[in-house]
Structure 1
């Protein structure tokens, strides 16, 4: 790099043609912090597929991780290091001077960082399950909107993975208070600490407002956004896509691939995942997974790196309708889609097992209310230990819906398929006796046998200053999902989701440093002048009768 730090880099080249002179190739660069030679990132399998199609694949441990030198600190150095790595590629004898980038999560962010650095050789990127600015995950979705609750699982990622070159696996003592001491205990045992954890944990300075130059202000490059309907940061990625699609300079270069997969690339069609379908453990399963993982990117690079196919060969949007299959569209949401509203009704029965209260197509004329108690010492369980791999277990949320501290509302059984294709939002009138409180909303598919599986979810944090006349809006992200005949939509509301999220204390104190807690009572109002509602984006009734 420009400051003399060396980054460990592997180069995979296509097999040369017999008797040919030194060949040159377009290169695809992957910059990741997860050990480029580990089974977890399966780069050897990716490289086989890219090199077979005539691409050089270059994979690199980012600064401060595994075999690379430099300080272990995420995000901030990636624009410069991305630029220098691309520049290095263009000076190699095997390079034809054209570079693309590919990869998931953090190595999707490194692509955006390189875009911001504006190297002219960078011709196209394929960011998967990521965001151009991770502040979109930690902060409000827009001006005037509430911040999300503290995503404890996300903060823990930095406490485990961004300490030094290695990764540390430990289980915090979740009974220990204050919560911050659970991690201080681990840092003392390791003998080092995570600088980024110190920024995220609220008793410290706070996250920088930006993680580098804004890539959206750079010269546009073709982008294939690869999004998972079950990705736990999918809402942030879809906001990236929507913003760029609205910018005239970028709109023509935006493409979307959206599948019924989670962050770890587990597929709805296999959920819950059997051992023989677990690509993180089974080699045959990995080989079956790889074509769907790499081929959309290779086809994209064939157009924008090799330039041996016209852009008209690529659908603007390729998306999966869960339980049904793949479709194409000219835009997202698909042209012709519409919104459908369900109103929360009968709240008196909402604190019972499913079906609980009702989701109706007409708003209740009279206002009714329901209350539930949030006890920080007995929070609502998350059911999944790792939301990055939600579909690995794809748990049944019916037992959670039956808790007294959860409200549930259910629509009538579908008389035919209802196809969801776009954003999902919830607006609820909720107040609390606590100065700060969280609202978690999960939209479920309630099957005839009583199982309730997740479709989409969202969450916000609110303050008691929110008046009873002001609705709380919750973005549940986007989905492509078929609600099948006889199934029912169910919406559950809660004030905690632990251990994925850090519960509020009920006292208004910092949840990281508080040693005491206090239960708080939440009140939901719906009907009359305080209607609470669920809004879906659906395909036309002619294509999706309900």
Structure 2
């Protein structure tokens, strides 16, 4: 029966059928760390004679949980000796789990231990997604001799930009993940729990945000305390987790998978480009997915198994593809390119009076205004979320609010492909100085339904950026990159608001640190779009 189920799994996942006996599993290998802590690992050994290469997966989510077993079992059934290790302080491994703090030291010690084992031939590779990708970046650039391959899915060389995008605490994602890791070792914690989900959402709305962990799961979570306490500018607390400086030095072959609605996509594409610019040969696949979406697992496993087989077993078949493979949303098609971003034409769409969006700049028009109230924060709809209703959603309700400005273009005469990095320049004056500028690009279909494509946020503080003599600040807002076809007859729409809650923590308007802030002040915005202040969104238009 087990063989039949394995063959069904291979067929569903689009993998070649694995032949031969089932892997031999050795549980709870004890791996010593330099400080005396012992981490536990399971070894999945295919039926081979003599020492063989090892694929290392380091996970905080449990080596014996369903996902850990899934990857290790499938890898080993396809001939890849795999070791899955529970990171420090999780699922039986010793020490305290302080996310991102000791992954370099623990990872390097684990690699040294593996290379000393009689069943390892000295060759190591690493694989995994999300935090499991962070554990790879914490090892790969520093290991000598280097890894044979790294398989990096929905991850990046640094996570801080995802903690605080545009300088704003990503409240929804941070509270959701904190609640997950805070209760993940409880019975049945791996299964959906609507009651817990509702508690998490109530906790996000509570103040101060530093208390959301206790509100959500009834106890403190060290990670949420860390991430809220170190959210202010100039804090280098997370330096130990930032590996951007060594990305270009990496000599290990790299394969990446991500999605257009993944919270790490901007950082992951930055890593890809840094490797490519340094003369390496990374490859990446970008699909129409959010973070950890089940629909992405098939592609992820195919990518990682094929890449590992190429570099550990010499099967080069899976390397015969373009460096960049991406899904063009709206066109429902996959495209191949030699580089990221593909060549495109930077095209400006200007914010105009009366809620219009177009090529021209009006010479002398008054600004549009709205008031953002932290007591009734502008709600978030869809986007790159870890939990809840992510990706594209109907924005009709939020666009009807008085604290959201909407600028809409004319119906398109032809399909418009936007492919690459998107940015917005918004000329804004606020009465408090402490404010956020949130910009979202939407696709309005022929029925008038507005759906989000990409967005970004920027926190303003007095003097950062510097205001002009008229008090107007030029806010340069980076939106996430996208690959999207706006269909003929559809219209482009740009939203401008003072936040998107609870995805981003509310701006209290007081300058008080986000961890402790409770009180707030309404903030009046003026959005300028005259000849002296040409607010716009800049789109990378691809003509193929």
Shorter-chain TM band: 0.7 to 0.9
Out of 469, 494, 497, which is 1:494 matched to?
A: 497
Distance 1:100 1:391 in 2: 35
Partner-residue secondary structure (3-state), 2:172: helix
Distance 1:318 1:182, change over 3 A: closer
Shift of residue 28, structure 1, vs aligned partner: 1.9
Which position in structure 2 is the counterpart of 1:242? 273
Displacement after TM superposition at 1:513 (Å): 2.2
Determine whether 1:211 maps to 2:240: yes
Partner of 2:452, secondary structure, is strand
In 2 relative to 1, CA 447–24 (structure 1 residues): closer, same or farther, beyond 3 Å? farther
Structure 1 position 33, deviation (Å): 1.1
TM-score normalized by structure 2?
0.83
> Which position in structure 2 is the counterpart of 1:4?
36
User: Distance in 2 between the 1:234 and 1:219 partners?
Assistant: 20
Helix, strand or coil at the partner of 2:229: coil
- Residue 525 of structure 2 corresponds to residue 522 of structure 1: yes
**Residue deviations 1:118-169 (CA, integer Å, cap 9, x gap):** 14251111111112112233457xxxxxx42121124325642555984785
Deviations 1:504-533 (A, max 9, x none): 112332343233221110110012110011
Do the aligned partners of 1:496 and 1:503 also contact (CA within 8 Å) in 2? yes
Partner of 2:68: 43
Measure how far apart 1:295 and its partner are: 1.0
Q: Does 1:100 align with 2:100?
A: no
Could you tell me how far 1:408 is from its partner in structure 2? 0.9
Give the match for residue 369 of structure 2: 371
Q: Map residues 99-248 of structure 1 onto 2, 5 A cutoff.
A: 99-138=124-163, 147-157=166-176, 159-161=178-180, 166=185, 170-171=199-200, 172-173=202-203, 176-183=206-213, 189-190=218-219, 193-202=220-229, 208-212=237-241, 214-216=245-247, 218-246=249-277, 248=278
User: For residues 431 and 514 of structure 2, what CA distance do their matches in structure 1 show?
Assistant: 17
Cα pair distance change 1:470/1:436, threshold 3 Å: closer
Counterpart position of 2:397 = 399
Distance 1:174 1:111, change over 3 A: closer
State the distance in 2 between where 1:178 and 1:139 align: 17
- Give the structure 1 partner of residue 193 of structure 2: none
Residues 404 and 164 of structure 1: CA distance in aligned 2, closer, same or farther (over 3 Å): closer
Distance in 1 between residues matched to 2:342 and 2:206, nearest whole Å: 49
Q: Does 1:333 align with 2:317?
A: no
> Displacement of 1:174 after TM fit?
5.4
1:112 Cα offset (Å): 0.1
Query: In structure 2, what is the Cα distance between the partners aligned to 1:536 and 1:183?
Result: 39
The change in CA–CA distance for 1:32 and 1:509 in structure 2 (over 3 A counts) is same
Per the normalisation by structure 1, the TM-score is 0.82
1:277 corresponding residue in structure 2: none
CA distance in 2, matches of 1:38, 1:416: 49
RMSD after superposition = 2.8
What is the count of residue pairs matched by the alignment?
491
Partner in structure 2 of residue 252 of structure 1? 280
Deviations 1:187-233 (A, max 9, x none): 8x43xx33333332238995515125654275421112322111122
In 2, are the aligned partners of 1:431 and 1:524 still within 8 Å (CA)?
yes
Do structure 1's residue 304 and structure 2's residue 311 form an aligned pair?
yes
Deviates more, 1:466-475 or 1:107-116: 466-475
Cα shift at 1:486: 1.9
Partners of 1:215 and 1:164 in 2: CA distance: 34
Q: 1:59 to 1:300 in 2, by over 3 A?
A: same
* 1:34 counterpart residue number: 61
- 8 Å Cα contact 1:103-1:126 kept in structure 2: yes
2:320 & 2:274 partners in 1: Cα distance?
24
Alignment-derived partner of residue 349 in structure 2: 342
8 Å Cα contact 1:86-1:122 kept in structure 2: no
Measure, in 2, the Cα distance between the counterparts of 1:175 and 1:483.
35
**Distance in 2 between the 1:99 and 1:372 partners?**
56
Gaps of 5+ in 1: 141-146, 268-288, 350-356
Equivalent in the alignment of 2:323? 316
| Closer, same or farther: CA 43–199 of 1 in aligned 2, 3 Å | closer
Query: Is the 2:324–2:338 contact (alpha carbons within 8 Å) kept by the matching residues of 1?
Result: yes
Contact 1:424 1:476 in 2 (8 A): yes
Segment of structure 1 superposing worse, 107-116 or 77-86: 77-86
Compute the displacement of 1:443 (Å). 1.1
Between the aligned partners of 1:174 and 1:230, the Cα distance in structure 2 is 21
Shift of 1:389: 4.7
Report if the CA contact (8 A) 2:263-2:384 is conserved.
no
* Unaligned ranges ≥5, structure 2: 1-32, 190-195
Deviation at 1:438, TM superposition (A): 0.6
CA contact (8 A) 1:133 1:211 kept: no
